[in-house]
Structure 1
Amino acid sequence: MDDPLMDGQELEAIPLETTRLQLGPVPGAVREGWGVHGVISLASGDLHVAAALVRLTRRGVDGSMILTDVLSATTDERFRQVLFTPGLVSLEAQAVEEDIDARLPGWVPGLKRMALKRHARDVDGLPARAQGVAIDQTGVRLAAAPFAVSGAGVLFAHDHGRHAMRITLPMGAGRALEGELALPEGALSTTMQGGTAQTAPALTLAGKVIGRAVGGQLWFDRVWGGRDAAPGPIGGERFAVTLGATWHLLLTRAEGETEGQAVLFEAGEPVDLPSGFRAEAAESWTSPATGRRYPVGWTLSVPDLELTARLTTQTPDQEIALPGTWPVWHGVTVLEGDLSGHPMAGHARVTQRGTPGRARR
């Protein structure tokens, strides 16, 4: 992609520091996650892929979740698995009970028990209502030296000698992506609700699917949180936008807000855009599995880039149907608009998380 920002425009931005990637487990962390998402190119066309491994530990209970999502950019081809352990179900139930006690301390005990039983029945029925969702007894496995994290066919393993990460992602129909992801020297680090998140966009992927060479670019995300970290997904929205081979945007905002922070990555180097961004929902979708209502289309503006665009989704059904109050919408969207007077197109991975622990009354 050409440099439209340099077309007679002075860009005011604040360089941001990067930190060394924290791949291995963090001592004392109660929540840890590793994830990738992006586009890989096959002879049959491009695929949007995402995978994540998450571990939670709280009050002596361990839980984990494994996500794999593959969506063709041109056909109806799709593979999705959302696996979680019984421990994750127990942790979510803890959060719901604490939420009830905090919001409604005067509830009659019998009514509270009824509410919790109804909630438990709803969670038990989730695998029957949501495609690809199942209980997994094994969960996420970790190795510290050398670092590796795996589960249900997903693998992230550090190759110290090559400063790279070996990855394996199941893709359905007996296929799997096996490849190597080049790691950067540093990543953008941000703090949030008692935790830390690291993000590195557009890492080069070289790999094979059924013996055939494939390439692509993947974002890598790493999160962890200590004692004060929220037990489940953190409320808010995140737009990971790809404008070209070397131009990427990370847009984040808190739950319920219209505006948020905008970070531009130019060839992997992050800068803060002082005016932030604004996004407004243009259409919505209600999940038949969880009853949650999500925005699935947006109008977007980033003033410092003179960017105005619209995000639309290929399919609205991109919910990660986690137990009870923890579902997440993690969807691929197409971006079309105007950047500094130039027509442009791209794509974005949008993540929407609600506040954990909000049980139905």
Structure 2
Amino acid sequence: MGRKILKWWRRGSLIGVRGLEFSDRQRVVVINQFVILALMITLSYQITYLLTDFERMRPLMVVHSVTMLVLLMALWANYQRSHITAALLALGAPTLIQIPIVTYLISADSGLHIFLLSGGVLTFLVFSDRLRWLRYGLLLVSTVLFMVLDQYCKAEIAPVQLSSEQLVVMRVLNIAGFVLMLYILSYLFHGQLIQQRRRIQRQARALALLANTDDLTQLPNRRRIISEAQPNGLFKGVVAIADIDHFKGVNDRHGHAVGDAILKGVAEIMEASIRDIDTVGRWGGEEFIFLLSHSSPEEARLVLERVREQIEAYELNFQSRDYRVTISIGMAVMNQHRSFDEALRIADAALYRGKRLGRNCVVDEAVAY
């Protein structure tokens, strides 16, 4: 039974939220949850009146019935995506109909009018900053109504006379319900804050990834490579620069679409061919950079030779044609005696030495000059 209630609660909370942005979605969920909660509380009043003193409570039951009808209209308005109308109906039904009229009928000694004080909190949950005038307007109305009802609706002149014992029981129940309502509103408000914080964190991670990732190859870009290689000199190992041989000619003869496809294919092979501890990124144009962590020159050469051989064997089929490319790689050691910029300069010199030696090779710093 509890699972069914929870299922219907969740389903009802999501009425009319499809396609909404996060902040608007949260406000609509709060409206739906408040309406469902108000319907449950009002229905419990109706059942209590029906089982205790139906004849005397008939005027109250009429008011509650009208209120329930308006609350159902609020759910329908949300379903029809008229969210501001839904919010006005949801807050207006208890604030302007149910609480004032019922309090007038049975007196403020019942404590029902205390629920008006929760309306001000709700306005901040369901109305955006763009509608702040509605927030403060409803807050003002609910506060004024509370003071008027508390001052003038006395038990002695109430149209529906209840015994003092009945009024005491109702006051206790209403105060308890008001406290419960505040807890629920606090929970909803806290939930909104958590959801917003998580959303901001997700956006921050997505932006950080976007700022540090090459759009075409999805490899780390120059910014990220530099940040990984330079902080506090923690990176130790081998830095290598790779360049696709004759890439400009490929672009000139076959077009940039083929060039882009080759870059993506080469990037995938590079990423698949290195070790888990290594990093490969796009340095710019047809150049790629490797950070081979905690590697000796011999270990690094084995990894880079494997990358070179895999790319030499790679055949790209694009637009019903086959394309082959090779790469040249220059490498240099980076340690506590050599900065990243210095290692990069030596690796770049080794790369161009490889170009002069005939391309499609891995050249270390020993033969860079």
TM-score by length of 2: 0.19
TM-score by length of 1: 0.19
Which of these two proteins has the greater Rg computed from alpha carbons? 2
